[in-house]
Amino acid sequence: MDTDRLTGAAKSAAGKAEDALERVTDDAVNDASARLRKAEGVARTVYGQAADAAGELGENAADLSRQALDAGNAYYRQGRRAIASTIRHQPLGALLAAGAVGFALALMLNRPSRRRRWSAYH
In a domain, 118, yes or no: no
In a domain, 117, yes or no: no
In a domain, 23, yes or no: yes
In a domain, 72, yes or no: yes
In a domain, 119, yes or no: no
In a domain, 62, yes or no: yes
- State the Cα torsion 44-2-51-47 to the nearest 10°: -10
Q: Would you say the pTM of this structure is higher than 0.85?
A: no
Residue 2, SS3 per DSSP: coil
Q: How many residues does the chain have?
A: 122
Q: Yes or no: say if 65 and 32 are a contact pair by the CB < 8 Å rule.
A: no
In a domain, 70, yes or no: yes
Please write the tens of the pLDDT for every residue from 41-93: 788 888 888 888 888 899 999 999 999 999 999 999 999 999 899 889 999 99
How many domains are there within the chain?
Answer: 1
Give every CB contact of residue 36 below 8 A, 6+ residues apart in sequence.
15
In a domain, 79, yes or no: yes
What's the domain range around 93? Answer: 3-112
How many whole angstroms separate alpha carbon 64 and alpha carbon 121? 55
